[in-house]
Amino acid sequence: MPYSPIGQSIQVLDTPALLIDLDKMENNIQKMAARCRDSGLHWRPHAKGHKTPAIAHKQLCAGAIGITCAKLGEAEVLADAGISDILVANQVVGREKVARLVNLRRRADVMVAVDDPVHIRAISDAATDVGVNVRVLVEVDVGMKRCGVPPGAPTLALAQEADAAPGVVFAGIMGYEGHAMSLDDAAKEAACKKAVGELSKTRNLIEDAGLCVGIVSAGGTGTLAFTPDFPGITEIQAGGGIFMDTYYRDGLHVRGLEHALSVLTTVISRAAPDRAVADAGRKTTSSHPSLPEVKDRTDVVVTGLAAEHALLSLTNSDIEIGDKIQFISGYSDMTVFLHDQIYGTRDDRVEVVWDILARGKKQ
């Protein structure tokens, strides 16, 4: 029987290793679910950060109505793990991908974002060919200037085209106020109010034209403090906060959630009294847009990452070669996908090991 670390101290793990503090993650899940529930909204958390069906099931058990993902390949992994209600919050383009989409619809109630008639026609042709109906959300540009049609009449026109297309079910609209994430609280609140207001007015316009807008989807962890408070939306997509990281805390000003994700690393060199090196570089943890920080120590600071090495600055430190320390993730979205497994821990002992099954699912 192969060796299992279950029940063992995290100190026995070889490094670098990706860790999740289960108590903290589960608390974060409950807090985010409660934030949506108390605002009268559904929660459809994003899985692009954790890429792990076992974690998605924890979110569903906490009250999520479905799961959001960024890639069709992630949706396929989630469906294979028994998850049905899945939003691909992205445009699915190309004959091969659309064929996968409509065939995925046979085993999951997947829906996708569209922002052009080209998307609708491609899905319609493929869906009618195999005899399925695919739900779509028209993506609205609420200020981020990425994907999405302008609010108002352009969104109505695309909704009407979706509603008329065989094999396509117009399910609603979505928008992402990503341009507001890094603003200070006052400016962020104002930007969220404006973004949700655009979605709300557009929803009213579409419904006045006789179409049902069952879903109005928006929100991220960086705006979770404000977006749910404004009327007009039906669900929130925020998901990354279940891990929390230094970027969410310092760059996006997220409060009230605990740092759950860390990287266990070993000190491999101490060439001088004021510096050391650990075995977790950019191939293990993200340095952009925020460096990781050392957990529970003030005498050791991460000053930079090379490909395989973390550069550490020491102040009156007793750290030695062979010591294991934990890095709080700088940005979880750019850290998890670097690993094959997550070690779920409780009280610094390994409770579960999860394969990151949607890792590498870029298509």
**pLDDT score recorded for residue 115:** 98
| Pairwise CA distance, residues 72 & 93, whole Å | 10
Q: What is the mean pLDDT of residues 129-141?
A: 98
**pLDDT score recorded for residue 3:** 83
| Pairwise CA distance, residues 329 & 335, whole Å | 7
Band of pLDDT at residue 292, cut at 50, 70 and 90: very high
**pLDDT score recorded for residue 15:** 98
**163-197, pLDDT tens digit by residue?**
999 999 999 999 999 999 999 999 999 999 999 99
pLDDT at 337 over 80: yes
Those residues with Cβ within 8 angstroms of residue 200's Cβ, 6 or more apart along the chain or in another chain: 216, 230, 231, 232, 233
pLDDT at 2 over 90: no
pLDDT at 298 over 80: yes
Which of 295, 299, 282, 281 has the alpha carbon at shortest distance from 245? 295
**pLDDT score recorded for residue 110:** 98
**pLDDT score recorded for residue 180:** 97
**pLDDT score recorded for residue 208:** 98
CATH level 3 topology of 10-17+256-355: Lyase, Ornithine Decarboxylase; Chain A, domain 1 (2.40.37)
Which of 276, 282, 263, 280 has the alpha carbon at shortest distance from 321? 276
| Pairwise CA distance, residues 58 & 16, whole Å | 25
| Pairwise CA distance, residues 56 & 113, whole Å | 20
pTM for the structure as a whole: 0.97
Q: What is the mean pLDDT of residues 253-279?
A: 97
Domain boundaries, the chain: 10-17+256-355, 23-240
| Pairwise CA distance, residues 295 & 278, whole Å | 14
Full 3-state SS string of the chain: CCCCCCCCEHHHCCCCEEEEEHHHHHHHHHHHHHHHHHCCCEECCECCCCCCHHHHHHHHHCCCCCEEECCHHHHHHHHHCCCCEEEECCCCCCHHHHHHHHHHCCCCEEEEEECCHHHHHHHHHHHHHHCCCEEEEEEECCCCCCCCECCCHHHHHHHHHHHHCCCEEEEEEEECCHHHCCCCHHHHHHHHHHHHHHHHHHHHHHHHCCCCCCEEEECCHHHCCCHHHCCCCCEECCCHHHCCCHHHHHHCCCCCCCCCEEEEEEEEEEEECCEEEECCCCCCCCCCCCCCEECCCCCEEEEEECCCCEEEEECCCCCCCCCEEEEECCCHHHCHHHCCEEEEEECCEEEEEEECCCCCCCC
Q: What percent of the chain has pLDDT over 90?
A: 99
pLDDT at 286 over 80: yes
Mean of the per-residue pLDDT values for the chain? Answer: 97
**How many alpha carbons lie under 13 Å from residue 239 in its C-beta half-sphere?**
28
pLDDT at 1 over 70: no
| Pairwise CA distance, residues 301 & 109, whole Å | 47
Q: Note whether 329 and 292 are within 8 A (CB).
A: yes
| Pairwise CA distance, residues 111 & 132, whole Å | 12
Band of pLDDT at residue 262, cut at 50, 70 and 90: very high
| Pairwise CA distance, residues 220 & 70, whole Å | 13
Residue 227, amino acid? T
Q: Which homologous superfamily is 23-240 in? A: Alanine racemase (3.20.20.10)
